[in-house]
Amino acid sequence: MGVTKMAVTTIPTLDPQWLTAARFADEPQWLTEQRQAAWTQLADLPLPRFTKVAYGDWPLTAFTNELAKPAAPIDDATDDYQLVSVGQTTQTLTLPDALQQQGVILCDWPTALREHEALVRRYLFQKAVRPNEDRLTALNAALMNAGAFLYIPENAVLKTPINLWQLQDSRQAANFISHTVIVAAPHSDFQVLQHLSTVGEVANPAHVTVEVIAEAGSHVRFSSLDAFGKTTHAYVNRRGHLERDAEIDWTMGVFNEGNVIADFNSNLREPGSHTEVQTVAVSTHDQQQGINTKVTNYGRHSEGNILQRGVVLQDSTLVFNGIGKIIHGAHGAKAQQENRLLMLSPTASGDANPILLINENDVIAGHAASVGRINEKQLYYLMSRGLPEAVAKRLVIRGFLGVILSAIPVVSVRQRMIDLIDQKLNLAEAGDQRD
């Protein structure tokens, strides 16, 4: 069999081999039926809409019908991660005994379906994400072949973060359709980090979905570091479902090298639910990145705040679409957002689009947005003190992003994010020197 290519706007002909290849070993019949149902709805489902991002010709569905070989392990995995997966292969899974005794569950999908099927069936595509929301979500539901299941039991308070490193194996033609479900049972409290990256340079698409279900009174601090490779076109969909008095604090770093569209959505379903969404993004070379960040207030006295900052270099494009929506009946709700872009090249393109959809009177809502060039006075001041222009620019960028970086509660995550920012800037500077 060879590689089947198709544009994202086309409807693929049903290929049973794709569905068969995606199945987990001995997966239950209900999951297989769910895959088939999602697949048959593709033709009737719209693509997700990204304002000012024309992604219709990206090879987001250039899937292969070849079976992937078991992924060779990577050498630089560290003890910092409880789970390391490469493609469909779980390389490391180590959960401390103390967490297991508390009832914490962390496993890959074959293990989750074998040992925790009832729990998985209760949450997978049931609350945060529905498999028929749009065409790309349906593709994830039909072809998911990687990911993880994390369950934190009621009243559990974890002092150390759960770290997940999920790598796309592009040393071969291989489909990477990852789905991770994170469940915070009532009054649990914990931190989780998701690190996404690529090993190898074969051109493959990546589809990633994350469901975070925060039940009553729980508190989830979710951090992510997205660093897919240059030959990867990616769709990333992270969704939060928040119940009464639950809280999710999102801190997301978007540092990919290839073209990416991302949906970061939080649904404040019940009274008192609260989310803080903070996103840092850096675009370089000629890549395009479009990010929809949406908070929908359903519950009374729910609160959602969006803070996004991005840096755009060279010939790249970065679009922030911030969407705050308050449903009728969400009395006392709050929705605030701030979207800011720093442009560092005359050939770069950026948009910061704040959108408020308010259907209730007794609320507080507002937004701020800006797209601007680097502060020449700051740059001149630093260079007048003897700093080279490249170093001065880097300090200005750090200052611009610092409002989010300083708010990251986990020191190790903050440092990883800073390292990835420096890596992106180094690559951009190297490209400028070659030009």
In this prediction, residue 13 carries a pLDDT of: 54
Q: Is the pLDDT of residue 11 over 70?
A: no
Structure-token pair, residue 47: 């693509």
Other C-beta atoms closer than 10 Å to the C-beta of 276 total 18
Strands 105-107 and 162-169: unpaired
Give the chain's largest Cα–Cα span. Answer: 69
Domain boundaries, the chain: 16-270
H/E stretch holding 165 reads: strand 162-169
Q: Residue 370 is which amino acid?
A: S
Predicted TM-score of the model (pTM): 0.93
d(CA 60, CA 58): 5
The pLDDT mean for the chain works out to 90
In this prediction, residue 196 carries a pLDDT of: 96
DSSP string, 233-271: EEEEEEEEEE-TT-EEEEEEEE--SS-EEEEEEEEE-ST
Q: What pLDDT band is residue 350 in, cutting at 50, 70 and 90? A: very high
Q: Is the pLDDT of residue 423 over 70?
A: yes
Query: How far apart, in Å, do the first and last CA atoms of the chain sit?
Result: 40
Structure-token pair, residue 287: 């890549």
Nearest residue to 196 (alpha-carbon basis) of 216, 167, 218, 176: 167
145-179 pLDDT, tens digit each: 999 999 999 999 999 899 999 999 999 999 999 99
In this prediction, residue 19 carries a pLDDT of: 78
280-299 pLDDT, tens digit each: 999 999 999 999 999 999 99
pLDDT, average across residues 240-264: 96
In this prediction, residue 27 carries a pLDDT of: 94
d(CA 362, CA 24): 49
Structure-token pair, residue 195: 């690190």
d(CA 187, CA 217): 5
110-144 pLDDT, tens digit each: 999 999 999 999 999 999 999 999 999 999 999 99
